[in-house]
């Protein structure tokens, strides 16, 4: 099984990339691919407890959490970016693993493909 890391780095408000990152990752399970999602830079705001992307026409967090739970999709968020954008109330349903910038290299090396969205 190939490991693919989908990286989102743009803010969820006004951009479709966080939404498309999750949609694409969840679609990989039918292709014998093991996806993971890395949220960095402004995209870390997507896992804030009070974030409501459905208000701007994006995939609702409720659906994202349902599929993360169902498939066990690894979700990573960069600690330094969470601090930079003052994200303190992380939604527990996203099951995000908080990693440091130094850990990003290891996660990238462990994957067969890395796709920046």
pLDDT, position 58 = 64
The sign of the dihedral angle between the CA atoms of 106, 110, 115, 117 is: negative
- HSE (CB half, 13 Å, CA atoms) of 12? 26
CB atoms within 10 A of CB 116: 12
User: Could you give the CA distance from residue 69 to residue 95 in angstroms, rounded to a whole number?
Assistant: 8
Range 55-83 average pLDDT:
84
pLDDT, position 39 = 94
CATH superfamily to which 2-116 belongs? DsrEFH-like (3.40.1260.10)
Give the pLDDT confidence of 12-45 residue by residue, as tens digits. Answer: 766 678 888 988 999 898 888 999 999 999 888 8
pLDDT, position 81 = 95
- In the chain, what are the domain boundaries? 2-116
More confidently predicted of 19 and 2:
2
Both tokens of residue 83?
């601090």
* Residue 102, CA distances (Å) to 59, 71, 99 in order: 30, 27, 8
pLDDT, position 74 = 95
Say if residue 108's pLDDT is above 80. Answer: yes
- Contact (Cβ atoms closer than 8 angstroms) between residue 39 and residue 46: yes
Say if residue 64's pLDDT is above 90. Answer: no
CA 40 to chain centre: 8
């Amino acid at each position: 099984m190939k490991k693919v890391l989908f990286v989102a780095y743009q803010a969820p408000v006004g951009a479709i990339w966080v939404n498309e990152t999750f949609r694409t990752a969840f679609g990989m399970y039918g292709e014998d691919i093991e996806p993971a999602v890395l949220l960095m830079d402004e995209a870390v705001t997507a896992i804030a407890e009070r974030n409501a992307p459905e208000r701007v026409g994006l995939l609702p967090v409720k659906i994202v959490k349902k599929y993360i739970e169902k498939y066990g999709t690894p979700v990573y968020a960069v600690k330094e970016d969470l601090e930079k954008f003052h994200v303190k109330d992380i939604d527990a349903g996203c099951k995000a693993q908080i990693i440091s910038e130094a850990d990003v290299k290891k996660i990238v090396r462990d994957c067969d493909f890395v796709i920046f969205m």
